[in-house]
Amino acid sequence: MECGIIALTDIALYSENGEPVTVCSISKRQNISIKYLEQILMILRQSHLVRSQKGSRGGYVVGKPPEKITLREVLDALDVTILGDTVFNDSEKESELKDIIDEKLWNKMTVYLREFSQSITLAEIIEQYRKSLAKTGDFMYYI
């Protein structure tokens, strides 16, 4: 999950000038294996969060502006069960305590996480990352 957010953020940041970002460059910068990145990027591409460009100067670019991509959209693309409804085995007899725990804990946490992740955009993550890079001097171009 986290690697997918990292890969998408890297692509959005390093493709701002329109140049595609290669899997190798993401792998080197973010220390994620190429094989794993390829799996993640396939999912992000199927969800239209990134587009692939073929050719000698090929790679990936974001599928839409980062300010239009929410963290919830990314999480849903990578694993729809993360923010999905909690469903337990219905074959066992329902208990009142389980119902109370579902209502007071799991359902409220799920609603909160959905709202929270919907309020964060990829653009905000990129901006925070730029600030971090500027402090360390690792990415002087974006200061």
Mind giving me the DSSP string for 89-118? -TTSPP-HHHHHHIIIIIHHHHHHHHHHHH
Q: Report pLDDT digits (tens) over 68-92.
A: 999 999 999 998 777 776 555 555 5
pLDDT of residue 87: 58
Q: What is the pLDDT of residue 137?
A: 72
pLDDT of residue 142: 44
Low-confidence stretches of the chain (pLDDT < 70) are 85-94, 138-143
Closest CA to 63 of 129, 15, 30, 127: 15
Question: pLDDT at position 141, please?
Answer: 47
CA angle 128, 129, 131 (to 5 degrees): 65
For residue 30, give both structure tokens.
């973010």
d(CA 49, CA 25): 19
Look at residue 86 in the predicted model and tell me its pLDDT: 57
